Structure 1
Amino acid sequence: MDGHLSARLGTVRCSNHRGQRPEYFCCGQLICSLCQVGHSNHKSLCTIETKRNDIQESVPYFLTKLGEVRANTDRQISNYESMLERNSREQTNNKKNIHKRIQGVIDYLKKIESSLKEDCQKRHEKVSEILNKIIDECKTTLIEVQQIKTCCERIPSFNSALETVRVGVRVNQQMGELDSKDNHQPQPQIPEFISPHNLPGNGLLRKIIGTMNDGLDMDSDWTTDENEKFEIKEKFEWKQKRIGISPLGRDRAWLYPMDTGGNIFLISHKRGLVKEIKNEKHRKIEKIYTTNRMNAWVTDIEKCSIKVLRETGELQHRFHVAPFHPFGICPTKSGEEVWICLADKSSFIPELKGRTMVAKMTTFGEKVCEIESPGGKTHFTFPYRCTENINEDLIVVDRIKETKGQIFIFDKSCQPKCGYIGTSVDREFDPRDVCCNSKGIIIISDYSNHAIHILSPDGVLEKLLKMDAHGLFKPLSVATDASDKIWITFDDGNVTIIVNYVNCLEKKS
């Protein structure tokens, strides 16, 4: 190499001085000895031999660096290839995941489509049912209109007998006035769905109102003998008035202010406070009914909702019944449905017309059936409370006026079975609550008459408990516990527990 380089330098001449051979290196070029004078003060000035040695010494260093660059390049290429392979795998996996998710969305949309079709089918069937019902009602109305038309056509033929009828009415009124002076005995009021043609039998009449003259009247001496005896087990006064009660087990009960939005209390039979539940949202609770499973159904009349009260004190929303307001509530014997007294107004207003009914619903708010026009005639005036006995009969308290009401009893097929309007024809029956014990005995609180009515499971009056004889007035809420004791609350805040009220019934049976 040295010979080759020398040979090449031998043919090179200085670019500034013709014919001079270069002997030095400076400023990046070869120069001759004449040019060296002008570069003498340059630091880079050196002989060609010196420059050649420097280049030879730096070659290994550059070769090393070149090897490092090559190795680094190989590494980067390897990383790039690995990244390409990884990206390819991830792309494949992503395609599979995307396809799987798309398939999941498609399956979900198919389920929604199926659910919508099923829901539309159900709604279509419901609309068809409603339309058929409307058509049937229209047909009935047309028949009634035709009957009215026929009656109107016959009216002219009655004109000749009209005067005779008027004379008869006046005579009847005069005779009635004479009779009332001697012996005032008005006829009993009977629930409208029971036909007067069914009343001549003494058994049916007793089932409806009790036998007229068998000594069961409020003011008769019958109420002072063995049939009225009972035992007051506990009696205490609560700090609030107008409270409802719902026993929990054998020796505890829920106490709650009715329709005022106060707190709920769990008390013992000795008046001890077990638990207090804050009613922070001021729910206006109308009725609490405890089940055998120790949970309780609650009606919130202001929010048109049904709630469940756990034994732990937790109050959970279950479902709404809007536009109706719920009043009374009770579970069915199976526990799978509840009966609810519904009205389209949030409080009882005498003689105010509106829509009312008693509806059976599932525990999640789906309507199973409803009773709105018992016997196909007049609807309830105001269904206020309800309960179900061991025969699966439904007993409903229907308020007519502020101090007047009646009891309807329906069998398990929701057909009218019988009714009850109290013990005396000259005193208004004022039921406010109803319950049944484990033997099916029906227990009714009579607010204005300060009494508790005890009826057989078939609705026959068997016993009358006069609470005013014990200094207790205006019973409001009544309920039985697991041992069949009767818990009663009164308008002034008194709470009473009574026992031994069915001895006479047990002897009869």
Structure 2
Amino acid sequence: MHPRRSAQEVLLCDLCETLPLQSQCELCNINLCVNCVGKHLSDCSKRHNVVPFLQREATPNYPKCPKHTDKHCELHCEECGIPVCSTCISSGKHKGHDISDILENLSVKTESLQKDLEELETRMYPRYEKMASTVQTEKTELEMHYGKLTTAADQLGEVLHQEINVIVNRRKSDIQEMKNKHLSTLNKNIDEITQKITELKHVISDLKSILKSNDVFLTSTYKSRNSEYRTLPPRVRVTVPTFSAQKINKDQLNEMFGSLSPLSINTEHGDTMKSAEVVSPPPVKPLLDEPRLTATIDTGYSRLVSVSCLREDQVWTRGNNDSMKLLNLQSEQLTSIQTKSGDRPLDVAVTRDVDLLYTDYKNKTINLVKNKQIQTVITLQGWKPLNICSTASDDILVTMLSDDRKQSKVLRYSGFIETQTIQFDEQGRPLYSPGRFIIHFGGFLLNTKYISENKNLDICVADRSASAVVVVNQSGKLRFRYTGHPSNTKKSFDPVGITIDSQSNILTADYRNHCIHILDQDGQFRRYIHCDLSGPYGLCVDIRDNLFVAELNTAKVKIIHYL
């Protein structure tokens, strides 16, 4: 509850902060109780207009123009992102800029502030609190566990009496040292979390102050910091040592007394909270007995290869020309972006910051589209990029084909810096098929290797040339290959698009068999989705687990409800 509200939500005077407010000075935008009205009116340096609180008008607090002090800013320059007055506009300095009414901009910004505040208060802050509580509980359990280790050492020491006192003390010292390291690590971890919690409190307080102030300048210049806190601090994981005792042998007393397993301290990257993520774990969603088609988007391409959700009602698409289209559910084109090179993009993906990524096979580049401006962020040498995805931690995973088409691999980029290569299994054998380069359908590369990251951080690749879904863990070690369900006796398994839902199900498009395969995270087949699909190719799911299927043959996106 807000500190200035009681259980009955009583609003207090802004001056004394003790008595209920009854009036408001509309010119000063301040709430007053009965006792403070006279004190406020005694300030004769400026005009006042005190009215009963319930009769106040919602008068916007227009900021004064910093360049024309006799003017108030009632307009907003979209390009410069600042409030401006009529004189600023007539001066020509904002010629050609998009100008809007500042109250319209205020409404949009206020809505954004409210959403940020809600996310911070109801989603982020509770997650941080819960995380801090978990670490604190682990500290309590730590004492019990290490106490048991010490007791075990003492009991064995009593059996061996004075002959092993030196060894007992040595072991206890080792335990204490590990405990200190363990405790120190957890204390450092909880300090980091507590610091973030303190920062969140300040941000929340600042947002509340802005919303309460009705100050257009503060609201219109507000910059959201929510993205800084969506990724939780690193979470320390410590493998607690165990005590192993052996039979007593005086000749080998030191060796057989037992040993402590090494203290293992690993840091897990904090989970990233999406804007619509709730505090509690996602609910279990069973599969529907009969998946159903809920909508169809006509993209206008003659062939359709990729689809990527921007939000629930908007998708980016890539077809058989050099343009990438942003469409809504009514098949209306909202934006169209042409590639920088003029060549067809091979694949598209949406980043966590809702920017567009695309791969250009011919000029070996990965490109970022931000505010309709294209920036080449990665240029490859000796390799050509195939398919791409953006992960929950905002990394980029890209499948690649060597220039001689004899090798394939997966690269991970963090901040557009290469951080991981996945190419061979533990026996040195290639994980992915070599490049069988085939041109069909007016320039489409059939050796696709669509890629996605699962909730457990497995990396899933639909290797079309190998007719298999290849899944490796976060370290790049092979977990399993899925080569189709035995019930399919029609045409060979032809995996193309691949995506992951909130239940960690793996969904892959089977182009030749006109269906979708649903697997669990361990590669066990769950069911098919048919829904009269024709040549399903690219796949994606939105935050509500609606499945978007790009049909190559019809160039339509079909939206399917299956959970």
Give the structure-1-normalised TM-score. Answer: 0.48
Structure showing greater Rg: 1
Give the structure-2-normalised TM-score. Answer: 0.44
